[in-house]
A and B are shown apart, each in its own frame.
Chain A
Amino acid sequence: MITDLFSLKSKIVLRYLIIKDFKTLIRILTFFFVISIFLFGTYFVFFKVFNYLLNLEDIGKGFIYRISSLLFTIIFFLLFTSSIITSISTFFKTPELEFLFSTPLKTHHIFFSKLFENGFYASWASLIISLPLIFSISNVFKVETIFLIKWLFLFILMVFISTSFGILVVFLISDLFKRFSLNFIVTLIFVLLIFFFVFFFIFVKPDIFNLPQNATLQEVTKYLNSLEVEQFKYLPSGIVLQIIFNDINAKSSNLLYFFLSFYLFLTFSFLFVLIRIYRKKYLGFSLFNLSSKKERSKIFEKRVFSKNLEIFLIVKDMVIFFRDPSQWGQSLIFVILLFIYSFSIIRSPIYFKTPFYTYILSFANLGFSSYIMATLSVRFIYPLISLEGKTFSIIKSSIRMENYFNSKLIFNFLIILFLGEFLIVLTNIFLKMDLLIIMLSSLITFIFSFGITIINTGFGAILPDFNETNPSKIASGFGGIVSAIVSLIYIGISISILSTPVKNYFEKSFRKIPFNFSEFYYAIIFITLLTFFIFVIIYNYALIRLKRYNF
């Protein structure tokens, strides 16, 4: 019976690819085109950077290892957290479950099919970064194909382990939610977070801060090599990465395989327990049904009759957002990610004081902050229009689409701008960048925020899904993937335009040669034009689409 379920599921997936008409054909082709451009682009960037680093003696390999290790850790947390997010809906909330549980299917059949589905939903976003990463490592170090295959297999194991841990957390949380009130739990999470970071900061690695500010390159190298006790080394991601680099260095990884098997054993054991309790958990699941108190929202009622319908619509979006724990729960997860990121940054400046590293780092920082901005927008901004659902037709009859779209655009822009500037200015100060770079990055972030907002709000209007009510499902659907990738391509192009003048600036300021600022101006003008171009196209097309929907 389990095979029936799987063959049915694969049939459903294949159905998405069946070409019924010209429009679907275009849709599918665009999809594959965009995805492959993105995969190749990312691969190419990694390959270039790694190749370049490899030419630096002493430090190159260690540096590649550091970058990959940072990325692997981020990927692990992404997998883990997105699994928490998606498994709430795949294991407990989708309407399909009621159907499946009403049939004679055994519980473990349902569980396995959901495990598979959840792994897919939770990992696609990190796959489009990690696959190019692994491929580029294998090509830069010119390893045999068999190693590549092995690494991909190890990576799949890592996906399996990290997403399973996410599922475990959801099962535990659902218990917690049943026993305690929501406020108690939120407070508890915050307190734990604070404790965690205080601990992390003060106790775990206090000597990090003792490295002299003016360390020489040798010291830095020594330091890099001595960074053995990394706090994330024994996460599945750290283990897999170490095995990869041991393979490259032709070292044995017996102990690491042991750890990996231990993780697998652990995962299988708790999955076994989860299967046993899954049915009972599903039948009694009430994560979000706790409050039976009646709420009258003053701000909502006040705004309903205000003259400005645009503002009311935004207030409505916000009220809905804050009443849905899965929504703000996910923002909380992003905050945690940002924390982790900022902490890695705080540790960095000490050993990255030469202009070359500053250059790389300021760039990586801009890239990563924009990546976060893009991910956030796909998750929270892209679904906004789809979330109107069937109500959209009512909204449409009461407000001009231009005003509707503009108000969404402005509001989203302000939020993304605030977040982006906050992140970029803060991290740049930690990195002790000079004023020019800080100003430059915040100007670029301003432009990026605008670009990212128009892409995600625009695709929200161009490729909406009015039938789905779960925002994280909307974001991981077809339109969400397209707008994620378009955002990332946009950022990639802009950053590569910027890379030449910034590099020249650092090189010249290091050698104390006067720098011609017009290079910057050209690059910025170019990016502004690109953004404007994107704006005009997407804005107009989005409005055409918005005006066309009627149901």
Chain B
Amino acid sequence: MGKEIILEVKNLTKRYGKKTAVNNISFKLSGGDIFGFIGPNGAGKTTTIKCIGGLLEYDGGDVLINGKSNKGFDQALKRSLGYVPDTPFLYDKLTGREFLYFVGRLYGMDKKSLEKKIDEYSKKLEFSDYMDIRSEEYSHGMKQRIIIASSFIHSPDIFLIDEPMVGLDPKSSKIVKDLFKEFSFSNRILFISTHTLSLAEEICNKIGIMDKGNLVYFGSIDNLKESLKKSNLEELFLEITKNDN
């Protein structure tokens, strides 16, 4: 190991037709960072995450992962990323376990370590009860847990997670939160877009605030609090984005 993981977003711009969804944003994260990406609805969070994940073509700028642009297809680069979309996708007719097998196989894991990981995460995220029934019978939160596990089992270097807390009951959010916390001790990057400000406040060492396609703040929460003289993130958030109607 030992090598440092760096994610650098440089002047990223993405337009949909005439609308600019992400406007020239830049930031840099490195191993051990837990990054909370917040902002009002339609601010451009999902769009940014997709551009970083190589799932959307962008119009300007670049995304560098360990110094390498993600523009072309690169299998090693894909392996180093774990992506959890905002709307969970599972194959209806497959069981949770089968889906996890499939994902593990695609990421080149061998059977033994795959089984070990599935075992580990089914206990951590408490889905062993239902992982052998077809996912067409799952609730939203059940799907969400399987999807989160699917990105954890192949232990990528960079996790991109869009709205992880949606649909999770209090207990599962706690479990997921604890899972995330372990990251600060690793040299990997966790990138979470979320509306749950308490989550960002509690576990993130860095935050970014998006508003109308612009990255209006990037840095640690403490610095922000100090400069604006507010005590919690919610007030900060409302202060920064107050020009919206």
Q: Is the CB of A103 within 8 A of B73?
A: no
**Which B-chain residue is minimally distant from A283 (CB atoms)?**
B57
Interface string of B7-40 (1 = CB under 8 A from A): 0000000001111000000000000000000000
Per the 8 Å Cβ criterion, residues 88-137 of A in contact with B are 95-96, 98-99, 101-107
Asked, given contacts A16-B93, A99-B89, A102-B81, whether A283 binds B106 with beta carbons under 8 Å apart, the answer is no
Q: Is the CB of B102 within 8 A of A292?
A: no
**Which B-chain residue is minimally distant from A178 (CB atoms)?**
B17
CA distance in complex: A15, B108 (Å): 25
**Which A-chain residue is minimally distant from B50 (CB atoms)?**
A98
Pick from A1, A96, A106: contact of B89, CB below 8 A.
A96
CA distance in complex: A101, B55 (Å): 7
Flag whether A432 is at the interface (Cβ < 8 A).
no
Q: Which B residues are in CB contact (< 8 Å) with A279?
A: 73
Q: Is the CB of B105 within 8 A of A4?
A: yes
Flag whether A226 is at the interface (Cβ < 8 A).
no
Given contacts A106-B73, A280-B57, A292-B18, 19 further A-B contacts (CB under 8 A): A1-B105, A4-B102, A4-B106, A11-B94, A11-B98, A12-B93, A15-B94, A15-B134, A99-B89, A102-B53, A102-B55, A102-B83, A102-B85, A103-B107, A104-B108, A283-B54, A283-B57, A292-B16, A292-B17
Q: Which B residues are in CB contact (< 8 Å) with A15?
A: 93-94, 134
**Which B-chain residue is minimally distant from A1 (CB atoms)?**
B106
Q: How far is the CB of A319 from chain B (nearest CB, A)?
A: 21
Per the 8 Å Cβ criterion, residues 55-114 of B in contact with A are 55-57, 73, 75, 78-79, 81, 83, 85, 87, 89, 91, 93-94, 98, 102-103, 105-108
CA distance in complex: A95, B91 (Å): 10
CA distance in complex: A286, B19 (Å): 13
Q: How far is the CB of A5 from chain B (nearest CB, A)?
A: 8
Interface size class of B (residues with CB under 8 A): 20 to 34
Most B CB contacts (10 A, CB to CB) among A12, A15, A104, A284 go to A104
Flag whether A8 is at the interface (Cβ < 8 A).
yes
Q: How far is the CB of B200 from chain A (nearest CB, A)?
A: 24
Pick from B17, B75, B93, B98: contact of A104, CB below 8 A.
B75
CA distance in complex: A87, B87 (Å): 23
Asked, given contacts A15-B93, A15-B94, A292-B19, whether A104 binds B106 with beta carbons under 8 Å apart, the answer is yes
CA distance in complex: A12, B83 (Å): 23
Q: Which A residues are in CB contact (< 8 Å) with B85?
A: 98-99, 102
Flag whether A290 is at the interface (Cβ < 8 A).
yes
Per the 8 Å Cβ criterion, residues 189-223 of B in contact with A are none
Q: Which B residues are in CB contact (< 8 Å) with A12?
A: 91, 93-94
Asked, given contacts A96-B89, A98-B85, A292-B18, whether A104 binds B94 with beta carbons under 8 Å apart, the answer is no
CA distance in complex: A291, B16 (Å): 9
**A-B interface, 9 closest residue pairs, ranked by CB to CB distance from nearest:** A15-B93, A284-B57, A283-B57, A104-B78, A102-B83, A103-B106, A12-B93, A99-B89, A104-B75
Q: Which A residues are in CB contact (< 8 Å) with B83?
A: 102
Q: Is the CB of A290 within 8 A of B17?
A: yes
Flag whether A249 is at the interface (Cβ < 8 A).
no
Q: Which B residues are in CB contact (< 8 Å) with A252?
A: none
Flag whether A289 is at the interface (Cβ < 8 A).
yes
User: Which B residues are closer than 8 A to A by beta carbons?
Assistant: 16-19, 53-57, 73, 75, 78-79, 81, 83, 85, 87, 89, 91, 93-94, 98, 102-103, 105-108, 134
Q: Which A residues are in CB contact (< 8 Å) with B91?
A: 8, 12, 96
Q: How many A-B pairs fall under 8 Å by CB?
A: 68
**Which B-chain residue is minimally distant from A96 (CB atoms)?**
B89
Pick from A103, A284, A292: contact of B78, CB below 8 A.
A103
Q: Could you jot down 9 A-B contacts, CB within 8 Å?
A: A4-B105, A16-B93, A102-B53, A102-B54, A103-B106, A103-B107, A104-B106, A283-B57, A292-B16
Q: How far is the CB of B65 from chain A (nearest CB, A)?
A: 14
Q: Is the CB of B53 within 8 A of A291?
A: no
Q: Is the CB of B73 within 8 A of A107?
A: yes
CA distance in complex: A98, B89 (Å): 9
CA distance in complex: A105, B81 (Å): 13
Q: Which B residues are in CB contact (< 8 Å) with A284?
A: 56-57
Interface string of A142-156 (1 = CB under 8 A from B): 000000000000000
Q: Which A residues are in CB contact (< 8 Å) with B94?
A: 8, 11-12, 15
**Which B-chain residue is minimally distant from A289 (CB atoms)?**
B16
Q: Which B residues are in CB contact (< 8 Å) with A98?
A: 55, 85, 89
Q: How far is the CB of B221 from chain A (nearest CB, A)?
A: 29
CA distance in complex: A8, B104 (Å): 13
CA distance in complex: A231, B59 (Å): 45
Q: How far is the CB of B29 from chain A (nearest CB, A)?
A: 19
Q: How far is the CB of A91 from chain B (nearest CB, A)?
A: 15
Asked, given contacts A95-B89, A103-B78, A103-B106, whether A283 binds B56 with beta carbons under 8 Å apart, the answer is yes
Per the 8 Å Cβ criterion, residues 278-331 of A in contact with B are 279-280, 283-284, 286, 289-292
CA distance in complex: A130, B207 (Å): 61
Q: Which A residues are in CB contact (< 8 Å) with B73?
A: 106-107, 279
Q: Is the CB of A286 within 8 A of B16?
A: yes
Most B CB contacts (10 A, CB to CB) among A98, A99, A289 go to A99
Q: Is the CB of B106 within 8 A of A105?
A: yes
